Structures are given as C-alpha cells and as structure tokens.
Amino acid sequence: MNCRSLFRDILTDEGLCCVTNALHPNLLYTRENWHINEPVDWNPEAGYPKKLPTKFFPRKTQGTGISMGLSLILNAEVDEYYCSSSGGAGFKINLASPIDRPLISEGGVIVPLGSETRFRLEALLTESSPEIRSLDRHRRQCLFFNEEPLIYYRYYTRDHCENECLSAYLIERCGCIPYYLPPLSNNCTFCNVSRLFCIERAKQQFNQTIGDKCLSRCLTTCFDLNFMADTFSSPLAASNYSIQSRVLYNMSKEEVHRNIAVLHFYYRESVIHAELKSVYIGFTEFL
C-alpha cells in the first residue's frame, strides 16, 4: 500500500513522526489530506458511532495473527541522521490509544536496524458502570470524559491533563513552552533555543513536585484503552537464500543490515480482557 494512505505527519517532542489510526483529524490534519478513509468520532467511553462509512479511521482490526496485522519496511537512511534523544540509529515506536498524545522520547520503544521485529499486541480495556458516577472522584480514582474539561484537548486523558499542567508550570517558570506542549492561551509563547536550559531545569523540578495541586486532579479515565506488546527481534537474513520480500530482494545485504528494519504489528487473540469498575456495596446491598 502507499504509506500516505495509512500514515500522516504529526508534531511530537521528537520532531515530525508518522502516526496511523489516530483521532483528532481536525486538529492535526486538513481534511483534504485524507484521500481514502473518512474520519469518525471515537473514544473508549462512547465507542464508534452507530452509522459508519465504508472506509473510516480509527480502523477496526480485521483479525488476529501476523497475516492480519500491519507490516512495515522502514529505511533509516543513517547517513541523513541529524540528531536524536537516543545514542543509536533506529526507529522509535509508541503504542497508544487513538485519543492520546504521549511523549515519544519518554515512552517510545527503540527498534534496531538490520532486524525483523514482531509486536504481539494485547489490548487492555477499562470500563466503568454508571453507578460509580455518584461516588466522589477521589474515592473512585477515575474520571469520566465530561467531568474534567481541558483547555486545549477535546478529550480528557491523564496524559493530556499532565501536559496542560506542565505547560502552565513552564509558562510560570520560563515564560514560554516547548513547541510540542499545548498552548493554553492565544498569546502563549513558544521557546527558542536560548530557553532550553530553563525548560530542562523546570521539567526536573516539575517531576519532583508530582503531588502539586494541578497534578492532583489528573486521575486516570474511567474508560481507558491501552496496548501491551510482547516484542521479538531477529536479524535479517545474512545468507544467500532468497528473501520473501521483493523490496529487500533487490537490496544488497550491506544496505539491509545498515538501514532497514522490518516491523510486524498484530493481535495475539480476538478477545479483549477488560476491567470493570463498579460499586462493590450499593444502597440495596447495604440494606
């Protein structure tokens, strides 16, 4: 497939990255860039709309196993490297819910070059019964999507809430924010290189004061979707037997081991193991 039909550029703390199956097309992309799939509104609490177009994103899975997953051949072009937050060449991969915007440098997994890597995925879903809405948020330790409105993000998640807290803290300490954090006002200033030292020092102080008033409201969501991956890697073929991929077959072995990484993403099984939060002793049980 043409990669442009699956991936689009997104601005992260690592610079421009490629993202697939993400929400927020109106915030991240122009509608004209999505040639094949129509964006639909989705979140872990409400799920998909009842009426869906023929082709849409975020996509649903087609099945389990590597043949029903997503396979990629990536070329690092190491001679074109400029800078990175890691010390070695390769790719950073981050698995997240379609509504989440995590930091790549903090949570990304590095994939080595000259290897074939399999990500065997397992989805972990957290759901909540409507009865727990009557409980205080700090007793149930979770938030529904409409309980904590955010300034910049449409949907509440813990990462989004913490990002807004960090933005407010950096504006107070340094007078500006890095380009990858959410601007909390129209006159918010983005930092240039001269403010880098102030930003890094303030971020360390922010992490040390994790229990401050702002972060104390950033609870987990009552409906959440996470992905856990078992990762397996093996070196690409170095012998003179034929390789299945026609793309790799036309490359020299030196080029493959220097620049190429092959990735496979697939689900281990066709069911999701969910966790349900409910009232253990309600009024009726109490009586």
Measured distance CA(151)–CA(161) in Å, rounded: 9
Residue ranges of E strands in the chain: 8-12, 15-19, 38-39, 56-57, 70-75, 91-93, 109-111, 115-128, 224-235, 260-267, 273-277
**Token reading at 95:** 């698995």
Residue ranges of E strands in 142-244: 224-235
Structure confidence at residue 117 (pLDDT):
92
The pLDDT profile of the chain, 287 residues, written as one tens digit per residue, is 888 888 888 888 888 888 888 875 564 323 334 444 677 887 778 888 888 887 777 777 878 888 888 999 998 888 887 666 777 778 889 988 888 877 788 778 888 898 999 999 998 889 998 888 888 888 888 999 888 888 888 888 888 898 889 999 999 899 999 988 888 888 888 998 889 899 988 888 887 665 567 778 888 999 988 888 889 988 887 666 565 677 777 788 888 888 899 999 999 888 888 889 888 877 777 78
Measured distance CA(48)–CA(43) in Å, rounded: 7
β-pair type (38-39, 56-57): parallel
Dihedral of alpha carbons 239, 245, 248, 250, sign: positive
Q: Is 170 helix (H, G, I), strand (E, B) or coil?
A: helix
Q: Which amino acid is at 261?
A: A
- Residue bearing tokens 């300034």: 151
Q: Return the DSSP state at 94.
A: -
Structure confidence at residue 210 (pLDDT):
55
